């Protein structure tokens, strides 16, 4: 029998930092969920080109999470880089002190540190995995040495927790053998909840990193150009870093007047946009399980998404529509449908989000895994 409150070491290849403020914010939300039931310490190491000294340590309590980040001066010499990473790792471990179990986020390369902690310090580890890079054809870019080490890390983990079965199958296709149990992304259902405000216009919202090869934002803009021939009282809100880069395309298509371009905003500020939207659109070419779809469900905002990755595993059929990637005709058809027949599954959508993705639900799922791993 394990003690009820454990000290969990979140070992993070991705995590928000001063270098990349939004990198792995979904991992931060997992850590915050787990902290409802356990003490959580985050260990993250990242290169910082602005550093004058070799290593700079940052330790602070953020949202009840003991956050320890080491910033490393970059080096083109791989040996020097490895030495700096190892020295930073040892410094952070001393600061964190004793802990019960390791929760590794992103299998490689920080899984090498998890192996060290298992083999030298006798600490079990579980893995949360979100990386789209395991899916074909992206997986072809994984080097032989990374794949070799990843197989060892996967086999040594007590559990591997991909956010979807689709991601699990992609990992198994690469012979990353281990004990799999999916645990989805988390939604703070105390912040994301239905608040329907009547808007004068039909409002479509899209929130992403604005990478066109991934999110196909240009496809959304082309589709609303066609929508404008049928529906005139609408607007598209694009939220994400450098969204203005699509203004040239919008100008060319004479649709700019229908689009609000909003640069990246803090996570808590997207809530109002989702709550007030008539529909959330994600037109991606590939995905795992985007948090923003689950957040839209929590706000009772219907979703039109491409049927890629693990999205269909968590998409009840009355919560919106799944369409083919790159199929602008389908996207247009579903937008017109939602415009004509607004959906109202408010209680059902919010309850679904609470039961499956709330902080409490995710904390309970991980707690059971920690207990099994330690026993």
User: What is the chain's pLDDT, residue by residue, as a tens digit (375 residues)?
Assistant: 567 899 999 999 999 999 999 899 999 999 999 999 999 999 999 999 999 999 999 999 999 999 999 999 999 999 999 999 999 999 999 999 999 999 999 999 999 999 999 999 999 999 999 999 999 999 999 999 999 999 999 999 999 999 999 999 999 999 999 999 999 999 999 999 998 776 679 999 999 999 999 999 999 999 999 999 999 899 999 999 999 999 999 999 999 999 999 999 999 999 999 999 999 999 999 999 999 999 999 999 999 999 999 999 999 989 999 999 999 999 999 999 999 998 778 899 999 999 999 999 999 999 999 999 999
CB 241 within 8 A of CB 346: no
Question: Rg of the Cα trace of the chain?
Answer: 22
CATH fold label, 7-186+358-374:
Rossmann fold (3.40.50)
Q: Can you list the positions of beta strands (E) in 54-119?
A: 55-62, 65-72, 101-105
CATH, domain 202-356, list 3.40.50.2000, 3.50.30.30, 1.20.950.20, 3.30.70.260? 3.40.50.2000
73: closest CA among 92, 62, 91, 87? 87
Domain with CATH 3.40.50.2000 in the chain: 7-186+358-374, 202-356
The DSSP letter of residue 106 is: S
Give the DSSP per-residue string, 168-189: HHHHHHTT--S-B--------T
- Find how far residue 243's CA is from the centre of its chain: 19
Q: Which residues contact 83 (CB under 8 A, 6 or more apart)?
A: none
CB atoms within 10 A of CB 118: 18
First to last CA, the chain: 7
């Amino acid at each position: 029998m394990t003690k009820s409150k454990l000290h969990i070491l979140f070992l993070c290849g991705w995590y928000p930092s001063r270098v990349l403020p939004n990198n792995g914010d979904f991992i931060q939300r997992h850590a915050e969920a787990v902290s409802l039931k356990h003490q959580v310490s985050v260990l993250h190491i990242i290169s910082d080109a602005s550093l004058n000294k070799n290593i700079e340590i940052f330790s602070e309590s953020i949202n009840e999470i003991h956050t320890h980040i080491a910033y490393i001066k970059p080096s083109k010499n791989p040996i020097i880089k490895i030495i700096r990473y190892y020295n930073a790792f040892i410094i952070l471990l001393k600061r964190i002190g004793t802990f019960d179990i390791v929760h590794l986020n992103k299998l490689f390369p920080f899984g090498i540190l998890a192996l060290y902690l298992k083999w030298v310090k006798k600490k079990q580890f579980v893995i949360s995995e979100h990386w789209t890079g395991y899916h074909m054809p992206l997986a072809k870019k994984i080097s032989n040495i990374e794949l070799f080490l990843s197989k060892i890390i996967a086999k040594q983990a007590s559990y591997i927790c991909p956010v979807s079965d689709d991601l699990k199958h992609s990992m198994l296709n690469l012979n990353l053998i281990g004990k799999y149990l999916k645990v989805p992304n988390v939604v703070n259902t105390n912040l994301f909840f239905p608040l329907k405000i009547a808007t004068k216009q039909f409002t479509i919202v899209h929130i992403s990193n604005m990478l066109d090869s991934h999110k196909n934002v240009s496809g959304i803009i082309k589709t609303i150009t066609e929508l404008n021939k049928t529906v005139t009282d609408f607007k598209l809100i694009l939220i994400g870093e450098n969204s203005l880069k699509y203004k040239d395309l919008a100008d060319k298509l004479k649709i700019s007047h229908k689009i609000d371009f909003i640069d990246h905003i803090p996570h808590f500020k997207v809530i109002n946009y989702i709550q007030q939207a008539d529909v959330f659109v994600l037109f991606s070419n590939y995905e795992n399980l985007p948090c923003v779809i689950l957040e839209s469900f929590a706000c009772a905002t219907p979703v039109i998404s491409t049927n890629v990755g693990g999205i269909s595993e968590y998409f009840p059929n009355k919560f919106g529509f799944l369409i083919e990637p790159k199929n602008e005709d389908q996207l247009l058809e579903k937008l017109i449908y939602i415009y004509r027949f607004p959906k109202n599954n408010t209680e059902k959508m919010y309850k679904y989000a609470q039961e499956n993705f709330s902080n409490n639900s995710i904390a309970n799922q991980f707690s059971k895994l920690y207990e099994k791993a330690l026993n």
